[in-house]
Structure formats: C-alpha cells, structure tokens
C-alpha cells in the first residue's frame, strides 16, 4: 500500500500542517512535495476542494507575490483574505501580504514525515529502495 495516493492528497496533507498566521505559496507546496514546477498542479488541487473539506486550511495558500489568487470567485478571494486577516496577517494597500514575514518554513524531515503519512507508509520498513 503506498504511492496510489493522488498528488492532490499529498497537497492537502501538507496544507493541513500549515500553522495559523502562516502561509505557503503554490510553488513552495509543489517543491516541498518533490515537484519543483508543479505550482499549477497545486492550484488545480485547491480548486478541486469542496466546501465540505474544511479540514484543509486552503486560505493559507497564496501566490508567490503574496497575494490572494482565486479566480472566478471574488467572494472566495474575499473570504480567503478575511480568514488570513483573522489570523493576524495584514495586507497592504495593493492587496499584498509580507511573504518574508509569514511564509511557513517547515523542516525537511517534518515534510517527509507528512508525505509518508499521507501515503499511508507510516511504517516504511525498507530504508531507501533505489
């Protein structure tokens, strides 16, 4: 039982670990998951989220410029910003937040653990196949 997990599930697992008041951008999520250029794929995963999946703090994922990037739903964008402000994040007059100040920097080992957990390989007996 293992890598049968969709990329989306990995994304959700990681986003779920983003602490309040912290944010992550699409490209960073992709990179942490081992796909340096999968930013768009991460965005796709987020768009696939249902309103019922409130276990995933989707509002903590913004674009690389530190700005809310939801398209086709001004309401959704407003909600995302409101949730972030509720966590203490401040947006400037242009709608940007300070990435250097709020970007979440998880330790690599922690990220690996999250990924392994999402894959269900909480055991992972084998050291390093290949």
User: Interacting stretch for DNA, rule CB under 7 A, among 46-54, 83-91, 111-119, 122-130?
Assistant: 46-54
Q: Is 84 in the site for DNA (CB under 7 A)?
A: no
Q: Taken in order 116, 41, 43, 49, is the CA torsion positive or negative?
A: negative
Phi first, then psi, for residue 70 (nearest 5°) are: -75, 135
Binds DNA (CB under 7 A): choice among 17, 41, 112, 119: 41
Q: Is 103 in the site for DNA (CB under 7 A)?
A: no
> Helices in 39-125 by DSSP H: which ranges?
39-47, 74-86, 99-102, 108-119
Positions in the binding site for DNA (CB under 7 A): 6-8, 25-28, 30, 35, 37-49, 58-59, 61, 63-65, 69-72, 76, 80, 94, 96
């Amino acid at each position: 039982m293992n890598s049968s997990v969709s990329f989306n599930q990995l994304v959700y697992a990681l986003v779920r670990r983003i602490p309040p008041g912290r944010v992550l951008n699409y490209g960073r999520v992709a990179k942490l998951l081992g796909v340096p250029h999968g930013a768009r794929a991460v965005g796709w995963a987020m768009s696939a989220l249902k309103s019922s999946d409130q276990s995933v703090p989707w509002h903590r994922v913004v674009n690389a410029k530190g700005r809310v990037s939801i398209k086709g739903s001004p309401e959704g964008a407003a909600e995302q910003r409101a949730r972030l402000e509720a966590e203490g994040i401040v947006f400037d007059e242009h709608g940007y937040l300070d990435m250097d100040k709020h970007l979440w920097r998880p330790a690599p080992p922690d990220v690996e653990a999250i990924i392994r957990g999402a894959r269900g390989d909480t055991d992972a007996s084998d050291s390093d196949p290949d």
